Structure 1
């Protein structure tokens, strides 16, 4: 309540019994004022509505498959962390929303996969300039999150410091298929060396001919998507 009094000119709400600030207008120039009060306390902040500002056609699986499908990549089987080498990136993207097109394990079951380091290293800007510009143009809280943001201290570290990688990095993974998959995740628990802004640019609902267990999970995903849409948390 105190923060709302400090900055009444932002469209925001409080989630999780007042512990999570949700900024509802990513273009509001006053967002940084209320954000900094939460940031001082080490609290996360959720910004909704960014997906409505992005060029959605750029971030669809079929767009990545069409433009970059012939690139060689490594995949990770999220169920056992095994590396799958010597595959084309279209092998991942074509199965993103179509379960029958997914690579299968030795038992003939579709795997839960993620792309390993793609685009590699610091190649995002060079390999995907249009997507880079679309993302940079629509980052929330640009004072903090843009490379040249006036409050982005990482961009102003002296040269004798080892500067953190300011990204952006892409994270691409399938959703979990069965109830057994809930015991695993698509990334390991880790600690980043700097603060980060994470933007969910696309969420897909896989189609196919799943068994009853998979169908229940997919129906649950649809409910989540409806909740995200209604809450403007995309």
Structure 2
């Protein structure tokens, strides 16, 4: 609780070993391939209609090919994850670290104390799946989470040379928000109107 109240990020290693279901492109193709989805181009934010089968096939069809970085963001977009993918939802809940805080019924998870006839928030999970961005080196733009969040890397395809895949998160303290806004504005990185963080342009 001491770390949690200080808004410090917590890194937990070996979490993927707790999952029993295969969270791989092949598994999504086999079980949910016909599901329609909307993909976001990480470079220009344009959107494209596709299916999970066609999207996940891109991870193995040509790993060294030059193609736009497409992302499946906040999936599923409208329905609850537990409704659409109930088996994956159960697997996710059982594997969560610090369950008293992170599970949907965790004793320290404030959402678990909502009245049964109230409107509780959707705690997810949601999927973020992206092809590597070989030009801009990022697939998720700078943003501000309104609540505590947990991110788990469940799959990373190897690179074209067979090197181990992975991801890199840049996490900033809430107290740094003003300094980040000032840096982006004064440094010329944000020239549009509006908030440099909430604009999702960086």
Q: Same fold (TM over 0.5)?
A: yes
Alignment CA distance shift 1:46-1:99 (3 Å): same
Equivalent in 127, 130, 150 of residue 197 of structure 1: 150
Gaps of 5+ in 2: 167-202
Compare CA radii of gyration and give the structure with the larger one. Answer: 1
Aligned length: 166
Structure 2 residue 128 is the aligned partner of structure 1 residue 171: yes
The TM-score normalised by the length of structure 1 is 0.63
Give the C-alpha shift of residue 202 in structure 1: 1.1
Q: Could you say what the CA RMSD is over the residues aligned between the two structures, in angstroms?
A: 2.6
Q: Distance in 2 between matches of 1:81 and 1:116?
A: 11
Q: For the Cα contact (< 8 Å) 1:99–1:110, is it kept in 2?
A: no
The TM-score normalised by the length of structure 2 is 0.72
Gaps of 5+ in 1: 1-35, 103-108, 208-214, 226-234
Q: How does 1:22-171 map to 2 (within 5 A)?
A: 36-55=1-20, 58-85=22-49, 87-99=50-62, 109-157=66-114, 163-171=120-128
Q: Distance in 2 between matches of 1:160 and 1:137?
A: 25
Give the C-alpha shift of residue 91 in structure 1: 1.3
Q: Distance in 1 between matches of 2:73 and 2:40?
A: 6
Q: Distance in 1 between matches of 2:63 and 2:16?
A: 28
Larger helix proportion of the pair: 1
